[in-house]
Amino acid sequence: MIGTVLRRLGLYQKLQAHFVEALVIPSFTRGQIGVAEARLLGRLVRDLTSAGPIVEIGTLFGRSTRILCENARPGQQVITVDRFSWNPLGLTPEEHHRLTASALAEVTASGALTLLKQDKEAFFAAWDGGPPAMVFTDADHSYEGVKRDIEWARSVGAEVICGDDYSAGCPGTIQAVDEFGGPVELSGRLWRIAAG
């Protein structure tokens, strides 16, 4: 069945070339959150007091997106935004978007998730959804990118601001997060800062 879906999406041969890497070599998980991070992210969502939307900046293959959706309260909207310009498998942006959209199709069809193929700056400029319950940032890990995400989250009154990759491999993330007071919670690489 999965082979049929991948063939239909035009991804079978490309993924077949990466089969061993994807299933055996940890590079497939590069850019995705681990167990410790998933536990903290799930708890942060369950502890939200606001019914506002949950905004994720950076979708990759949707692992963290699923965690957000699984832990959100019934009726709470999750919005995930990605340009689909990078992935560890070397997929084109179109292939990457199709694969991720397929992986998230069930939750998207339920109405709980909106998947946007969009630049975050365009998303920020168009935002009119009121204060988000949470902003989770896991896209551009440069100092400027993380700082911009945090500034936007604070400017729109997010209840919780958190993200991934607070680690030596992402010094820009560390610098930006520390400029906003540093993590008030940290599990693995997943951080939360004070919202305001």
> Average pLDDT by consecutive 10-residue portion of the chain (196 residues)?
64 56 45 89 98 97 96 97 94 96 96 97 97 97 98 98 97 98 98 94
Bridge partners of 54? 78, 134
Which pair of tokens denotes residue 140?
């551009």
> Looking at residue 20, what is its pLDDT?
42
Please give the C-alpha separations between residue 32 and each of 145, 175, 189, in angstroms, as whole numbers: 18, 21, 11
> Looking at residue 14, what is its pLDDT?
60
Strands 113-117 and 160-163: unpaired
- Alpha-carbon distance of 119 to 106, in angstroms, equals 24
> Looking at residue 32, what is its pLDDT?
76
Please give the C-alpha separations between residue 31 and each of 64, 85, 140, in angstroms, as whole numbers: 10, 13, 11
Specify the 3-state DSSP secondary structure of 79. Answer: strand
- Alpha-carbon distance of 193 to 150, in angstroms, equals 9
Query: What are the backbone angles phi and psi of residue 168, rounded to the nearest 5°?
Result: -60, -30
Bridge partners of 186? 191
